[in-house]
Chains A and B, each alone.
Chain A
């Protein structure tokens, strides 16, 4: 089952901020020793080597904010799947590694690239993330950060809940491959 398939199709999220640094590798999101476990079990250890509180205290709808090159190293799709299984609403980063960016959309994990996001938030801030409009608002500071939304093709994939439901839908432009 795709663990992200329950995410709302509006692509608008509101939650408390968890903040991570630059170059967070998939090795830290889902260490290889765990990639065979269930997604719930992976979620219970997700990012624990960088912040032991994260898997224990993350609440559904929280927002993960990271720096540059989030999800680098192995391109394992288990990483975005496990993050989705933590119940996280969305992941916002300065920049994603290309494998994580592709996998995130394909598994239906809402993600947004927003240069400047790292300095824009502190842990615990209440954030409002609107992926389709490319906007993040910080309730503590009252400020808004604008960014480019993903291309329409990837937005449609996210709204469908990932690549597989997208391919099964009637309206996708990849229909010709069916």
Chain B
């Protein structure tokens, strides 16, 4: 009888050209897709040029650069760095989605360069998002990407143990998928899944759209996980047929595959909208504990927050109101398709009328490269992915992470507010 294995173990066995893979095995696997943003592309290309003795790029068609932290270089030094990456890409035939295309993973999804069953590596810790699309996807360092990825289209992995996280029950009104994802990080703990893979399952996950499913693997790095996935189903297949360019075959869990652990989370027990408070993504509290906190910046955008549904929710929640005096509301569509749809639907006009700052598609305030720096004493609330001190300017600024609904009502009132009214 064949061994009973899960999606990741199957993908790694195929890519590692071996009959099977067990947790703990070190596997050298063929990589199908390598993704970098402007910051990591700059680091990786420098390592490749300076430390690899003139090695050749093995297969440039598997490599993609997306300039998302910069929409327009703010300094001469920054311009030179982007220029060097463009030169490297031209020299080696690597595809570049230049500034204004959108946030790395949302550009990749829109581009259709991915497919279920692939091994996807990224020099970006949020790469596991593609696990929602049936791929094995994880973040690797610059040296891995340059020395094994660029030079050989390969990567080394220690095959992870898998923990199944079953999300069950119906959350109360006002608890969105983002609130549920933050609740998972807060309740399991931000180092609870280090080196492991997480599989999200259960009625709740099955009922979500692919876009909302993406939030769970995306936020899994802040549980410490190496990768996360949702066993592909009819929704995954339909989404892939619509978006993926290449042919594919879904790789699914074997029935009855084993887990290192199974964790059940009752979503009905979530105490309303959830806010990740400084200093970490795992410091998650019910909004009622922080409501009333004055804010300076509200942002809807980037890898976790610039989806079309987020922009629609923002406009609906503003409901014709202007942004509160003194608050800057920044809106960053996650890719060009989303930006165009928001234009067609009149959402961008509504936001401009409300006094919002509409930014080009990109990563928005993530790491404050082109925008989103704060001075000591300032406070932001956003649906971005990270809130660590020093990530957005001063370590004495504060950054709260919340659902789009919570960010929207906070922007309208000038204080962290409960979207349930």
Contact = CB atoms under 8 A, between A and B. Distances in A.
Interface of A: 1-2, 23, 25, 27-28, 31-33, 35-36, 49, 68-69, 72-78, 95-99, 101-103, 106-107, 151, 153, 162-164, 167-168, 174, 176-178
A152 B390 CA distance: 36
B141 A49 contact: no
B390 A28 contact: yes
7 contacts: A23-B191, A23-B279, A76-B43, A95-B194, A96-B194, A102-B144, A177-B148
Contacts of B282: 23
A103 B141 CA distance: 6
A162 B143 contact: yes
A140 B350 CA distance: 66
A177 B125 contact: no
Interface of B: 26, 28, 39-40, 43, 47, 50-53, 77, 81, 123-125, 139-144, 146-148, 152, 154, 156, 158, 190-191, 194-195, 221-222, 224-226, 279-280, 282, 367-369, 386, 388-391, 395
A177 B28 contact: yes
Nearest to B30: A177
A142 to B, nearest CB: 30
A73 B389 contact: no
Given A32-B368, A69-B191, A77 B391 contact: no
Given A75-B141, A106-B144, A69 B391 contact: no
Contact of A32 (B81, B148, B369): B369
Q: Identify the 5 closest CB pairs spanning chains A and B, nearest first.
A: A69-B191, A25-B388, A103-B141, A75-B125, A49-B395
A167 B146 CA distance: 12
Contacts of B156: 174
B43 A77 contact: yes
Nearest to A49: B395
A134 B245 CA distance: 48
B143 A69 contact: no
Contact of B28 (A101, A102, A174): A174
Given A36-B81, A74-B125, A75-B125, A69 B226 contact: no
A69 B194 contact: yes
A107 B395 CA distance: 27
A36 B194 contact: no
Given A27-B390, A32-B369, A69 B190 contact: yes
Contacts of A107: 141, 143
Contact of A167 (B43, B77, B148): B148
A2 B388 CA distance: 27
B141 A25 contact: no
B26 A99 contact: no
A68 B52 CA distance: 34
A72 B224 contact: yes
Contacts of A176: 28
